[in-house]
Amino acid sequence: MNILEIKDLCKTYIVNKRQNNVLKNVNFTVSEGEMVAVMGPSGSGKSTLLHIIGCIDTFEKGSYKFMDKEISRMNSRQSSFFRNKNVGIVLQDFALIESYSVVENVMLPLYFSKGKFNKKKLREKAITALKAVGLDNLSEKSVHKLSGGQKQRVAIARAIVNNPSLILADEPTGALDTQTSAEIMDLFHKLNEKGHTVIIVTHDLDIANQCDSIIEISDGIIKACNYVNISKN
Ligand code: ADP
Ligand code: MG
């Protein structure tokens, strides 16, 4: 079954009255449980596409269905709620609150969820997510004292704290050394094995080759969708 279906999707930015067609009739599907890499040169529209999939950006034309629900028909409140419940996003620059502790950062998305939790329950959920990324021993530490790899783990813990079906990551290893990159990729593989669908934007072909399929984007157009790991599909 497809977790998401994107049909003829177009996205345009207008800057200083000039129209920039960033995504041009994009079409693709992602199956439930798939691990997908998105590759392409800088400025080709990868982050924009990821932000649209994560419902933090909108689009003008086309269709985006997530589990058969048409996202473009949702108002912003509905799509925020939908995002919080179903999607975990690891943004390009971690986007953590540096002065907060590790566990406080991971707890943040829980405050926007429906349902009543007391603070103890929220903390327990955050600690569970931190265990999954191997950082529960640093839960009280301030984020600004962490290394790049540790910050990336906190960002991943925050993305999975609501147990989303879809995890999105924008160049999650872009700023990390080879060894730390490999550890972060192991983490994404583990999450994928647990049943999360994963979409990773990357410049690194070695990382893309570890995924089930690779979507190649160039100048806002999908050039190819290649299956790497056919046995899984
Ligand atoms: P990539 O992630 O592949 O490097 P982006 O999706 O960030 O590419 O950007 C694609 C194009 O969209 C670029 O030309 C960029 O300048 C433009 N763009 C991205 N975000 C915005 C924005 N918020 N406002 C205006 N233009 C944008
Ligand atoms: Mg980008």
Any atom of ligand 1 within 6 Å of the Cβ of 11:
no
Among the residue ranges 19-28, 38-47, 172-181, 214-223, the one predicted with the least confidence is 172-181
**pLDDT(157) > 70:** yes
| H/E segment holding residue 48 | helix 46-53
228: pLDDT confidence band, cut at 50, 70 and 90?
Answer: confident
The per-residue pLDDT for 185 is 95
Alpha helix (H) ranges present in 54-118?
76-86, 102-107
Atom of ligand 1 nearest to the CA of 15: 25
Distance in angstroms (rounded) separating the CA atoms of residues 167 and 181:
17
Q: Residue 216 pairs with which residues in a beta bridge?
A: 39, 224
Q: How far is the first Cα of the chain from the last one, in angstroms, to the nearest whole number? A: 10
pLDDT at 214 > cutoff 80:
yes
Ligand 1 site, residue 47, Cβ cutoff 6 A? yes
18 C-alpha to center of ligand 1: Å? Answer: 14
How far, CA to CA in Å, does 148 sit from each of 21, 131, 167, 172, 207?
A: 34, 18, 20, 11, 18
Contacts of 153 (CB under 8 A, 6+ apart): 133, 134, 135, 184, 187
76 lines ligand 1 (CB under 6 A): no
Cα 31 off chain centre by: 15
Ligand 2 center to 11 CA (angstroms) = 15
DSSP tally for the chain: helices H, then strands E: 7, 10
For residue 233, pLDDT beyond 60: no
Q: What's the 42 CA to ligand 2 centre distance in angstroms?
A: 7
Which tens digit of pLDDT belongs to each residue from 99-129?
Answer: 999 999 999 999 877 667 788 999 999 999 9
Ligand nearest to the CA of 49: 1
Residue nearest to atom 23 of ligand 1 (CA): 13
